[in-house]
Amino acid sequence: MTDTDHAAFIRLTYQLAAEAAGRGDDPFGALLVVEGRVVLSAANTIHTEHDLTRHAEMNLVSLAARTLPAEALARSTLYTSTEPCVMCTGAVFWAGIPRVVFGCSAPAVAQVYGATWAVACRETFGRLRSSVEVVGPVLEAEGLPLHRAAGD
């Protein structure tokens, strides 16, 4: 698949991220797609749920692992507005999701927030000796304004 093929799904993650920001959460959104169809979606809820582990990807992977059969997870793609952090990357790995497509890169988002925590998910997957396919960044210029607005 090309970036163009991923564009519609990444834009949906940006919509979810904007909705999260509108609720007072950080601007992150994620989708699980199986055979070209969105089967689950989630957004960041760290502030509304008072739990710093409630990243969009963690919310999505947790829900997926509880509600979908392993064979569906093995055919899925996780689309996310921003490159998954180390915690979320581990969750993707353990859930058996074989593909991640992200919008904004971790280094670009860390730069917006003035943070030093950026670790590429490819590096984390590599340390796990994982065969998870990673695509991204995709449409990063469209997603970064969400973070800039949140960082102000």
What would the pLDDT profile of 70-126 be if each residue is shown by its tens digit? 999 999 999 999 999 999 999 999 999 999 999 999 999 999 988 877 899 999 999
Q: Which sequence positions are flagged as catalytic?
A: 57
Q: Which residue has the tokens 């969750």?
A: 91
Predicted model pTM: 0.95
